[in-house]
Structure 1
Amino acid sequence: MSQSVLYEIVELPNGDIALQRADEQGEPLVSIRFSKESLYFLSDSKITVAKAMIEAGLEAAGDIEDNQDDLWDDALISDHKTLH
């Protein structure tokens, strides 16, 4: 049975928001640093906005992977043409 890997969104000591393994091994997969100006406008919503950004990025990556799978399937189908 494979062991699942858990990830968490955390605020790092330097104020960056990061997606990292729950066991904290290795560097974060993604980190987000907001400028001072953007922090002024975000106020207490920094974590919420960073979470939405990370979720959107993961969804986009999944869409890209799905599109690549579709292109691969199309290439395989086009190699098997039937001539009558």
Structure 2
Amino acid sequence: MAPDGTCFGSGRQLAKLPLDKWVQLAIRLELGKEAPKTYELTLSVPGQQPKSFTLPLVSHDFQVLTWLGFSGTSDARAVFYVDKIKLKTVE
């Protein structure tokens, strides 16, 4: 996310998000050798229609999720507010 609220995914500019509202982010992907090499990303802002994207995985070798984290790459001071993380498998 850029300082102006521009959200990126897989190297693509996706949407401009408000900096003063909570945003729900949902990621859905299949894992394994035969799984598609894409993931679904949905961004939901209160009072707006959700925006959904099908994006390519950065690595075609990705098959297993072993770590989940948040990091920033800016030299400027930044804050992430994270709440209610849910990680689950869906059959």
Q: TM-score, normalised by structure 2?
A: 0.31
Of Structure 1 and Structure 2, the greater helix share is in 1
Of Structure 1 and Structure 2, the greater strand share is in 2
